[in-house]
Amino acid sequence: RVPEAARSERLPSRSAVAGVSEGLATGGEREGRARWSAWRRNGLAGYEDRHDDLPGDLTSRLSPHLHFGTLSPVELVRGATRSGGAGAEAFVRQLCWRDFHHQVLTARPAAASADYRSQHDRWRSERSAAGDITAWKEGRTGYPVVDAAMRQLRHEGWMHNRGRLLTASFLAKTLYVDWRVGARHFLELLVDGDIANNQLNWQWVAGTGTDSRPNRVFNPVTQGKRYDPQGDYVRRWVPELAGLAGAAVHEPWKLRGPERAAYDYPGPLLELSEGLARFKQARGLD
Ligand SMILES: Cc1cc2nc3c(=O)[nH]c(=O)nc-3n(C[C@H](O)[C@H](O)[C@H](O)COP(=O)(O)OP(=O)(O)OC[C@H]3O[C@@H](n4cnc5c(N)ncnc54)[C@H](O)[C@@H]3O)c2cc1C
């Protein structure tokens, strides 16, 4: 029963709510249904081949609707299965990850904050790595694809899955900062942020979760060149580098002298080899 004291009120307008991301997508059931039917027609068939295309932005973007319940996963699975094909199968597989993480958290509620499978890490903390954490949050690490994704998160309250993977790997493994610091920041900004999928994906990337390769480290330069080969995603979110054509935008440090000075963009926070050596030593892999 609805408690007597519960009253029905109009939802506040977006402008009346403080701190909303500027580029936040519109919510609500009508919007969710419209998005699903348009994407089912135009995006589903190509999903398997193109879900990692960062500039193309071709995934469904239905996660906020699944999070708030304005679309049901059962409805999506039914519709996708009716459409059929490799794209639909790949999409249903991703929906299964969502369920999987909810099931893991139900079985192991402590995994919301404790390592699911400890690697005996002695992470750098919020205090000891304060400068690095701020640079990561603000999109000023000097690694363009990491910075682009972190700025997308701040602007839209959403980030592409490939961006989530490589920014999380950069924080937890390259900077060797406690995954909980990053997970908290994501939860503060993500419109689809939920404990099961956020914390367990963070643990997956940090190598303390269900990943069968806990020590893999994503290289942001290789990842950038692979998933944003022309650099369009970086130029969209890091306007300071808009003058750099093609894949060169992923390695601004290769420019020299006045050419480099023309770009008001920070140098790399650390060498990737330095981060990798620290991580390997911490995990006893050296
Ligand atoms: C560090 C990190 C944190 C994340 N935090 C969240 C979170 O708080 N909430 C959240 O819903 N997803 C989270 N994800 C998973 C994934 O990035 C998003 O679900 C996806 O990017 C949402 O975009 P989409 O709707 O276009 O996805 P699509 O590619 O269109 O996939 C369809 C749906 O499948 C589900 N899905 C896809 N990939 C995953 C995945 N890896 N794990 C669980 N479900 C998945 C989502 O419900 C998604 O809406 C996180 C991933 C990482 C690496």
pLDDT of residue 282: 97
**Whole-angstrom distance, CA of residue 274 vs CA of residue 57:** 32
Q: pLDDT digits over 70-110, tens only? A: 999 999 999 999 999 999 999 999 999 999 999 999 999 99
pLDDT at position 171 over 80: yes
pLDDT at position 14 over 90: no
Query: How many other C-beta atoms can be found within 10 angstroms of the C-beta atom of residue 42?
Result: 10
| CATH topology for the 117-286 domain | DNA Cyclobutane Dipyrimidine Photolyase, subunit A; domain 3 (1.10.579)
Q: pLDDT digits over 225-242, tens only? A: 999 999 999 999 999 999
Domain ranges of the chain: 23-107, 117-286
36 lines ligand 1 (CB under 6 A): no
| pLDDT band with cut points at 50, 70 and 90 for residue 11 | confident
User: Comparing 21-25, 56-60, 194-198, which segment has the lowest mean pLDDT?
Assistant: 21-25
Mutate to test the pocket of ligand 1, among 97, 161, 178 (most ligand atoms within 8 A of CB): 161
pLDDT at position 223 over 80: yes
Q: pLDDT digits over 124-167, tens only? A: 999 999 999 999 999 999 999 999 999 999 999 999 999 999 99
* ipTM confidence: 0.99
> Tokens in use for 40?
């089912």
CB burial of 47-80 (b: ≥16 within 10 Å; e: otherwise) equals: beeebbbbbbebbbbbbbbbbeebbebeebbebb
Which CATH number is 23-107's, of 3.40.47.10, 1.10.10.10, 1.10.240.10, 1.25.40.80?
Answer: 1.25.40.80
**Mean pLDDT in residue range 247-271:** 95
Residue with tokens 């020299």: 256
Amino acid at 92: V
Sign of the dihedral through C-alpha 159, 162, 168, 174: negative
Distance 63 CA to ligand 1 centre (A): 6
